[in-house]
Amino acid sequence: MDTLFLITILIVIFALAFDFINGFHDTANAIATAVSTKALTPRRAIILAAFMNFLGAMTFTGVAKTITKDIVDPFMLENGSVVILAALIAAIFWNLLTWYYGIPSSSSHAIIGSIAGAAIAAAGFQALNYNGFFKILQALIVSPLLAFAIGFIVYSIFKVVFKNNNLAKTNRNFRTFQIFTAALQSYTHGTNDAQKAMGIITLALIAGNQQQTTEIQPWVQISCALAMGLGTSVGGWKIIKTVGGKIMKIRPVNGVAADLSSTMIIFTATLIHLPVSTTHVISSSILGVGTSHRVKGVKWDTAQRMLVTWVITLPVSATIAAICYYTLNIFF
């Protein structure tokens, strides 16, 4: 079997594995608030999230095309297949490591940093498509800040609108509404996160001379959607515990405000074809809601730990990917 074709097959397998891991690593964030407030049982939340993620992944391809062409030029990438394989191995390693310790790290940061690190190792800094790469970085940085601000504003509006309502009745109504917001958030997660693996496989197909355009093939979209859905069905209890309870004590009204805020940011990013970190957006919206509710009620030590992980993910994953590239280059 041709070596390039073999590497392409390996990349498809690893990309689907990355999407599967992303399913239980990142999707846990989408249902964390609904599970923590008991709006949904864990089992029902996971079934709902798996279906809605699959549906979301089948709806759009714009983010996938951005991943394919905006980090590196797929038609000029030196030793491209090995670069992509190294990036996937590095991103999977970082995702599993942070999942093991229950840290809501970003799969988006991990894969984008890994592609950049492996490409630089292969061809130097000129390998990066700087216009596209910095556009992606801006989206990754700005989106959590917007999520925090919108979470703060939405909950502030809730406090005014529902200030005279019976607390028990209001929470009961919001708990029911959380089923809808959890479904909506899972759908938007699928529209953005599942597309990253689609973009990587398309990048690999171009590098492996299997296709000549950046269009996402139907089998790629379906297989990535299935991998994301299956990964979601496994669940991510460690992440749910952190996001759903260790940032702040979440009540149904808090959960709805956070879900709506993060959904707005993620879906807007999808519509303008930009990849964002669903982990960062969801966690930041909870922080914004918590700050609006009661600053002292936010567990800022957990937030600080998450922030450190967010900052180091790009450079650490890039470094790991470079090491993986040099190692793989010995054999290929």
pLDDT score for 244: 46
Of 27 and 203, the structure prediction assigns the larger pLDDT to 203
Average pLDDT, the chain: 87
Instruction: Identify residue 115 by its one-letter amino acid code.
Output: I
Residue 26 pLDDT more than 90? no
Tokens of 236: 């991510």
Of 314 and 33, the structure prediction assigns the larger pLDDT to 314
> C-alpha 245: how far from its chain's center?
20
3-state secondary structure of 56: helix
Give the orientation angle of helix 3-36 with respect to helix 252-271, to 10 degrees.
150
What predicted TM-score, i.e. pTM, was given to this entire model? 0.88
- Per residue in 249-304, pLDDT (tens digit) is 678 888 899 999 999 999 999 999 999 988 889 888 988 998 998 887 777 776 77
pLDDT score for 1: 56
Residue 308 pLDDT more than 50? yes
Give me the mean pLDDT over the 23-36 stretch: 73
Which range of residues forms the domain containing residue 29? 3-331
Give percent above pLDDT 70 in the chain.
Answer: 92
Of 45 and 117, the structure prediction assigns the larger pLDDT to 117
- Read off φ and ψ for residue 2, nearest 5 degrees: -60, 135
Residue 62 and residue 84: Cα distance in Å, rounded?
20
- Per residue in 127-156, pLDDT (tens digit) is 999 999 999 999 999 999 999 999 999 999
Position of tokens 């714009």? 62
Residue 114 and residue 11: Cα distance in Å, rounded?
14
User: Within 10 A of 180 (CB to CB), how many other CB atoms are there?
Assistant: 14
pLDDT score for 236: 55
Residue 41 pLDDT more than 70? yes
Of 114 and 28, the structure prediction assigns the larger pLDDT to 114
- Per residue in 51-85, pLDDT (tens digit) is 998 999 999 999 999 999 999 988 888 888 999 99
pLDDT score for 116: 95
| Total domains present in the chain | 1
- Per residue in 152-201, pLDDT (tens digit) is 999 999 989 888 877 667 778 888 899 999 899 889 989 998 899 999 99
Confidence tier at 225 by pLDDT (50, 70, 90): very high
Q: Determine whether 92 is exposed, middle or buried from the number of CB atoms within 10 Å of its CB (0-12, 13-18, 19+).
A: buried
pLDDT score for 11: 95
